[in-house]
């Protein structure tokens, strides 16, 4: 599944997993993805948030304030453990999907 993600997309997923683990959440939700995007300093999504005048620190604080308390057991499926874990088995003609492309598509659909 992750072979269709760009390096930046995989990095966001890895950072999101770190956020979920840091908050002791046993799931990976959109809130963890947003926290990960806030950590990625050169992404289009973060640039858009800043352009809209939104405080990244305020977004982070609000998300963290609303996260459920964690349990003691962390159960995750298969996630890439490092950026270098990309498989070269992508033999199809499909290009990797950039997270910025996904966000851009979502933004234009509203």
- Cβ–Cβ < 8 Å for 3, 90: yes
User: What confidence tens digit (pLDDT) does each residue in 11-43 have?
Assistant: 999 999 999 999 999 899 999 999 999 998 888
pLDDT for residue 87: 38
Query: Which CATH number belongs to the domain containing residue 25 in this structure?
Result: 1.10.1780.10
> Which two tokens mark 53?
């005048």
Give the domain range for residue 44. 2-77+86-108
**Could you tell me the pTM of the whole model?**
0.62
8-state DSSP, 67: S
Tell me how many domains the chain contains.
Answer: 1
Spatial separation of the C-alpha atoms in residues 60 and 32, rounded to whole Å = 10
- Cβ–Cβ < 8 Å for 90, 43: no
| Predicted confidence (pLDDT) at residue 59 exceeds the cutoff of 60 | yes
pLDDT for residue 14: 94
User: What confidence tens digit (pLDDT) does each residue in 70-110 have?
Assistant: 654 445 555 444 444 333 344 444 455 556 655 555 555 44
What is each CA distance from 96 to 48, 74, 88, 92, 101, in whole angstroms? 22, 29, 12, 10, 10
């Amino acid at each position: 599944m992750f072979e269709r993600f760009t390096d930046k997309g995989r990095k966001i997923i890895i950072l999101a997993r770190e956020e979920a683990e840091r908050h002791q959440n046993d799931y990976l939700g959109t809130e963890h993805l947003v926290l990960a995007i806030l950590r990625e300093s050169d992404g289009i999504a973060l640039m858009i948030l800043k352009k809209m005048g939104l405080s990244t620190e305020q977004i982070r604080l609000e998300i963290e304030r609303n996260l459920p308390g964690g349990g003691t057991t962390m159960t995750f499926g298969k996630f890439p453990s490092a950026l270098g874990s990309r498989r070269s088995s992508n033999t199809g003609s499909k290009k990797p999907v950039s997270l910025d492309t996904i966000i851009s598509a979502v933004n234009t659909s509203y």
